[in-house]
Amino acid sequence: MSIILNIDTASEKAHVSFARNGELLHTLTSGSQKEHASFLQSAIQELVQITGVHLTQLDAVAVTAGPGSYTGLRVGFSSAKGLCYALNKPLISIGTLEVLTASALTLFPPVTNEEWYCPMMDARRMEVFTALYKPDLTVQLAPCPVILNSSSFENELSQKSIIFFGSGAAKWQSVCNHPNALFKNVTLLPGSMSKHSNMLFEKKIFTELAYSEPLYLKEFQTVINN
């Protein structure tokens, strides 16, 4: 038996949910990336009121660890760690690309079990945060930033059909014409995250609070206009 608070503020949409044994009790969503910070705390309190689950009843807190927006990752990670410290509960951090792939597998299961899955998160211009996974979520390419061009994934596509999806997939589709490249519309599903965090909880795969930090993949840069 587990009750887990799941937090995702890594991308354009944010969601928080309570789940019991991997099944959603209730979820709340925000579509405004600029309001993730104000949304998160009020949404957690609203979840308590709607579900009747007090924060002290939680068994763990799960958060998407990145990649994603710098501000969104800091908001989600700091809130999750703060709750874990205060409640003395374990922290579960999950790669955003992994959860996005789990969502794709829910929506578009493999036809032959040989396809690979390639999540892409927009990182501006022709760059994306991406990775490659087998249908069992075995990592074929670890999360990394990639600047896309017409020859990207050439070797991989010569061997396998690859399903591309996520906020960065559209610009890859604009330059890719390989017959083994398939494109799907996928967003991160709260239900997929809740099942994934429960699986990690059952395996006791927790994140060390003192040393944990988001997976940015790229250093933060600011532009100063003189």
Map out the domains of the chain with their CATH numbers.
3-95+189-202 (3.30.420.40), 109-183 (3.30.420)
Answer yes or no: is pLDDT of 223 > 60: no
Residue ranges in 88-168 assigned as alpha helix (H)? 96-107, 154-159
**pLDDT (tens digit per residue) in 28-81:** 999 776 777 889 999 999 999 999 999 999 999 999 999 998 888 999 999 999
For 78, the token pair is: 């700091």
Residue 64, number of CB atoms within 10 A of its CB: 32
pTM, full prediction? 0.90
Answer yes or no: is pLDDT of 222 > 80: no
C-alpha distances in Å from residue 79, one per residue of 26, 63, 129, 207, 216 = 19, 9, 24, 14, 17
**pLDDT (tens digit per residue) in 74-133:** 999 999 999 999 999 999 999 999 999 999 999 999 998 889 999 999 998 899 999 999
